[in-house]
Structure 1
Amino acid sequence: MQTGQRITGAALAAFLAAAAAGCTTVRLEGGDKPIEVNLNVKIDQEVRVKLDREIEDLIAENPDIF
């Protein structure tokens, strides 16, 4: 009887696992707004480099400023 109960228990467990797997629903939904990528960092760095170069040129041309 022990072997029969093990087989029945295993079959029941397999059936329940298959039934539970069939009940699972996965939904993927996209947002209603587009993804926004902020690129201000790159622009800010370019502006700083240009300003730094201009300041270096001004200091080189006018060493008496400071």
Structure 2
Amino acid sequence: MAQEYEPSAQTIRTWVHQDQVDTGERPGLTSDEKAELAQLRREVKEFREEKEILRKARFSS
């Protein structure tokens, strides 16, 4: 597989490890959980930015 697609050996190890997590063979965050966590972090960042904008608008008027 590495010769055909040319990913590094470390990349393949990472893929195998994540697959084992996704199938329950190893502990850790699944791909879906990682995606959800990333989405929630983006939302929190956005909410904090909105909160800061509202705070500044409140004190500037």
Question: TM-score normalised by the shorter chain: which range applies?
Answer: 0.3 to 0.5
Larger RCO: Structure 1 or Structure 2 (Cα < 8 Å, ≥ 6 residues apart)?
A: 2
Q: Which structure is higher in helix share? A: 2
- Name the TM-score, length of structure 2 as normaliser: 0.41
- Name the TM-score, length of structure 1 as normaliser: 0.38
Question: Which structure has the larger Rg over C-alpha atoms?
Answer: 1
